[in-house]
Structures are given as C-alpha cells and as structure tokens.
Amino acid sequence: MSSFWLWVALAFYSLGLIHAIVTVVRRQSAIFRISLAALELGFLFHFVSLAELGLTENRFPVGNIAEASSFFAFLIALGFLLAYWRYQVSSLSVFAFPLVFIMTLAAAMSRPAGPPLTPLLQQRWVPLHISLSLGGYAALILSFLAGVMYLIQERELKRKQPRAFYYRLPPLDTTDRLGLLALLVGFPLITLGLILGMINASNSWGDGWLGDPKVMLSFALWVIYLLLVYSRVGVGWRGRKAAVSAILGMVAVLLSWSANYLSSHHAFFPR
C-alpha cells in the first residue's frame, strides 16, 4: 500500500509517538497539546488517503491486510479523539498514539500493489462486514485501555508517594465510564459484523462454514462480550472487576483476530 497522504499522516502521528515515549520515560506529560494537534492533522490526512484509495479503486478501502490495518488505525484515532472530546482523558494518548503510529507505519510500508481482489471481497456486503468488525475491535481496544488505566490509577492511589504521571490520569469514575461506553459501542458493532458475516458465509461457503476456526472463535468472542455487557449493565460491575474483565476480553479479541491466519475461508487478505 503506497499513498503520499498516508505518509503525511504518519509524519504527524510520529509526534504522538514521541509524546508517548517522553511521557513514559520522564513520567510526566510532555508536548501533549502539540501532539494532539498533530494527531488531528494526521487524522485528516489519513481520511484523505482512505478517500483517495477508495475513489481510485472504486471500492471501500479494506481489500487487503495493509488497507485493513490503515483503516483500523484510522478508527482507533477516531475513537481517541471522541473519547478525549467527551472525557478529556489526555493520558489515554500514551497508549493510543503509539498504536495508531505502528499500524499506520505497517500499512504505509506494505507493497504498493498486490493480487487482485478475490471474488469474496468483491461481494457487496463483505467490506461492510469487515468495517463493522474493525469498528467494534477499535471500540473494544479503547475499553481495554480504559481498564489498564483504571488498574494503574488504582495502584498509584495505594502508594504513599504517587509518581508524577499519576496526576495526569483521569479520576477512577471517569475511566470506568469510558470503559463502559466503549464496551456499549463495540458490542453492537461486532454483533452486526457477525450477523453480516454469517449471511455471507452461508451464501458463499455452504454448510461447512460453521466449522471454520475464525467463525467458531468469533462466536466465542461474541458470547464473552455478551457476558461482559450483562455483568456491567445487568449485574452492575464497576471498578476493578470491570477493568480486569475488559483486559481479559481483549485476550479473546486477539485470539479471534489470530484465527484469520488459521482459516482457509478468511485468508482472503493478500499477504
């Protein structure tokens, strides 16, 4: 994948990476306002890159693993900007900025051309299935990061002399609400993505689609997050329990994603 505008976005994202490294090393926030402005500009140019690719290829730009990685990074950047706008959680940048940079870098460095799209990806609803799933994953990553921040904040509160970075973390209640909101956004998206995937799989693969490793792990992931939503909304889990469950849920997301490389049907991204 090669796009001038994607490299421009990456250049702006690199300031966010520098901010995260300096913050971790010095244990205090540094150049956040500059890196936030850079992320916003990078996000804008990233959008231009995706739009240019879509218009040039006359399709939604998730046709291979590089394009999907670029779109995923774009969604994570969008999720961070929305979370910051809603909750002013600047400390989330320490986790989100490097992730956006690395995924965008991987997409930008991929080969500029690849094999033609498989017939499966040319079907009308498959790009929507992929986009919804990636959107759900991006939201669940934010829920996971909120869980990580909650546990860090909780640990720092127990210290007699909290480190400087502690004062940049949001209140525990804010972090908990961010994690819940991200979960409530991510779960419907992966549900819709799963439903569309089931319809496409049934039409394309016949009766054998249920035995596919990716399908089975996707069902397992959906059940796990259904239980997490119920535990948060129905049972009322908050605090440490909710944070730990969000982190364990991300393990299930990673297992589901890795199943792409075990599945004969889902190995449709040219690699």
Concatenated DSSP letters of 53-89? HHHHHTS-S-SSHHHHHHHHHHHHHHHHHHHHHHH--
Give the pLDDT confidence score for residue 2 in this predicted structure: 58
- Residue 156 has a CB neighbour count (10 Å cut-off) of 15
Each domain of the chain, given as residue ranges in start order, spans 1-114, 115-271
pTM of the model: 0.87
Q: What are phi and psi of 270, to 5 degrees?
A: -60, 130
The secondary structure of 2-44 as a DSSP string is --HHHHHHHHHHHHHHHHHHHHHHHTS--SHHHHHHHHHHHHH
Give the pLDDT confidence score for residue 271 in this predicted structure: 42
Distance CA 65, CA 62 (A): 7
**Does residue 148 contact residue 95 with C-beta atoms inside 8 Å?**
yes
Distance CA 66, CA 103 (A): 9
Q: Please report which confidence band the pLDDT of residue 29 belongs to, taking 50, 70 and 90 as the band edges.
A: low
Task: Indicate the DSSP class of residue 201.
Answer: H
**Does residue 126 contact residue 193 with C-beta atoms inside 8 Å?**
no
Average predicted confidence (pLDDT) for the chain: 83
Q: Is the pLDDT at 115 greater than 70, yes or no?
A: no
Q: Is the pLDDT at 249 greater than 70, yes or no?
A: yes
Taking only Cα atoms into account, the Rg of the chain, rounded to an integer number of angstroms, comes to 19
Reduced to 3 states (helix: H, G, I; strand: E, B; else coil), residue 270 is coil
Give the pLDDT confidence score for residue 120 in this predicted structure: 56
**The dihedral of CA 236, 252, 106, 4: what is its sign?**
negative
Give the pLDDT confidence score for residue 217 in this predicted structure: 82
Q: Please report which confidence band the pLDDT of residue 228 belongs to, taking 50, 70 and 90 as the band edges.
A: very high
Q: Please report which confidence band the pLDDT of residue 269 belongs to, taking 50, 70 and 90 as the band edges.
A: very low
Q: Please report which confidence band the pLDDT of residue 21 belongs to, taking 50, 70 and 90 as the band edges.
A: confident
Give the mean model confidence (pLDDT) for residues 64-78: 91
Distance CA 93, CA 18 (A): 11
Place of tokens 């546990």: 151
**Does residue 224 contact residue 249 with C-beta atoms inside 8 Å?**
yes
**Lowest-pLDDT range, 46-60, 86-100, 120-134?**
120-134
Place of tokens 């480190």: 163
Q: Is the pLDDT at 193 greater than 60, yes or no?
A: yes
Give the pLDDT confidence score for residue 137 in this predicted structure: 94
Q: Nearest 5°: CA angle at 100, between 95 and 102?
A: 100
Most confident of 76-85, 90-99, 150-159: 76-85
Give the model confidence (pLDDT) of 128-169 as tens digits.
888 999 999 999 999 999 999 899 888 877 776 655 555 567
**Residue with more model confidence, 65 or 29:** 65
Distance CA 202, CA 223 (A): 20
